[in-house]
Amino acid sequence: MTTAATAPIASTTDNGSIIAEVKDVSVSFQTDSTNLLVLKDISLAVRSGEVLALLGPSGCGKSTLLRVLIGLLHPNEGQVLAHGRPLDGINPRVALVFQNFALFPWLTVQENIRVALNGLDMSPAQGAMRVRQCIDIVGLEGFEQAYPKELSGGMKQRVGIARALARGPELLCMDEPFSALDVFTAENLRSEVYRLWSGGGKLPFSLKGVLIITHVIEEAVFLADRIVVMGAKPGHIRQIIQNEVAHPREYQSPQFLKMVQRIHDIITESRPPDEPAIPAGSEFGPRLEPIPPVIISHIMGVIDILGERGGQMDVFKLDQMTDYDFGHTLTVIKAGEMLGFLDNPKNTVILTPLGRQFLEADTIGRKNILREQLLGLNTFKFIMQLLKESRNGRVSKDLVMEEMCIRLTAEEPEKMFTFIVGWGRHAELFGYSTDTEELFLDPEPAAVAGDGANPAA
């Protein structure tokens, strides 16, 4: 994807001055048994005229650092400053865009945006004009009276961005704003934010800087002028990189790809000695497939229903025979398609030949078929290679999660990890210890070559 935007131009004349800053900040939370250190000795400044990205795996404290920086959370140690002065309470010149939209379902688009004006010294006419301006900025003309339930995920997040802009902030903070969206919607909205900041959109007020949290390298390189690479346990800054990729930025340009590779190397270079190296694949390693959030037994249930009814059903009739809501039924069908058991032309769900073989196999035969299908997916091939190349046949959850954050652009890594473990354990590809939080290679199942041999072989 390319963009026609020019170099970022902030609507301010004091480029380079510090808007917000933390110095030697540490944050810890008291749990039942211990004091959990989340951030340690963090010093960071957000400057006027820049987009700053906090990049790192889930659990490294990115959101905690953001909340400290804007005054939502008080650190255990260190200073928080706004324009060089100690911050007392929440910074009133900052607006936050949330990860999961956070809209009021009983309010219209217009009313959700107007909420942001509470406490501002604006007349009703000025407020109405500001709301209209923000609706125009994010491209929601014609949807002013729509309710959140009537909007797509991308449109909901546009409302969230408009609401944040309505306060006229000098610093716009965005906490993984695209992670709840599908890949294509996220890419489009990311380009819109880029266009707004770069001068392609006209803001009715002075926005001096943007701070964005992400776990996607490409997103950081596309949007940010400086990239803060964070590490975990406890959260700390590994490196701060000046992004020198020229504008307009193109995802496939040599300069862009070189920067992505550089950051990937920084993220992976401090791997513990007993952890395997990243398997070779494409230039940045294999792209992993998002695993649908369903359990294998749900897929088997749909296969059984189809088997009892000739191997083919209308999707709506199939949905009526499950206990799921329609959205989950579609997700189960998608998972079955991914495994090669189902096909879904138009509104029909069909049991494939492999699906029939799976249906007719005994328990061991089903595990063999499932195992073979999982090994055809990059996600499971990648994990198995990590396990086989590790010194003791064990890989930490943290390593897998970190790699998922790098290679999955719009998913929830923690949730995804749960289903990956469930699918892998069901097929007896690997085991998982909740005590050590490690994946480990299962002993080769003795029954693979026995009576339950794969009927597809």
The CATH number assigned to the domain holding 43 equals 3.40.50.300
299 and 317 inside one domain: yes
Tokens (6 digits) for 183: 């890949």
What average pLDDT does range 47-61 have in this prediction?
85
Q: How far is the C-alpha of 217 from the C-alpha of 219, rounded, in Å?
A: 5
316 and 407 inside one domain: yes
412 and 323 inside one domain: yes
417 and 301 inside one domain: yes
pLDDT for the residue numbered 299: 93
pLDDT top residue among 274 and 244 = 244
201 and 324 inside one domain: no
pTM: 0.58
289 and 416 inside one domain: yes
Domain boundary among 237, 268, 299: 268
User: Is residue 281's pLDDT more than 80?
Assistant: no
Boundaries of domain holding 211: 18-93+169-268
Residue 207 lies in a domain: yes
pLDDT for the residue numbered 443: 58
What confidence tens digit (pLDDT) does each residue in 352-411 have? 999 999 999 998 999 999 999 999 998 898 888 888 888 788 888 877 876 776 665 445
CATH number at residue 443: 1.10.10.10
Residue 86 lies in a domain: yes
pLDDT for the residue numbered 356: 93
Residue 104 lies in a domain: no
Mean pLDDT lowest among 33-37, 216-220, 333-337, 341-345: 33-37
With beta carbons less than 8 A apart as the criterion, state whether 380 and 429 touch. Answer: yes
Task: Give the chain's domain count.
Answer: 2
pLDDT for the residue numbered 450: 36
Domain boundary among 239, 268, 297: 268
pLDDT for the residue numbered 153: 81
* Banded model confidence at residue 287, pLDDT cuts 50, 70, 90: low
User: Is residue 294's pLDDT more than 50?
Assistant: yes
What confidence tens digit (pLDDT) does each residue in 77-104 have? 999 999 989 988 888 888 888 777 778 8
What confidence tens digit (pLDDT) does each residue in 243-256 have? 999 888 888 889 99
User: Is residue 304's pLDDT more than 80?
Assistant: yes
Domain boundary among 242, 268, 294: 268
pLDDT for the residue numbered 293: 87
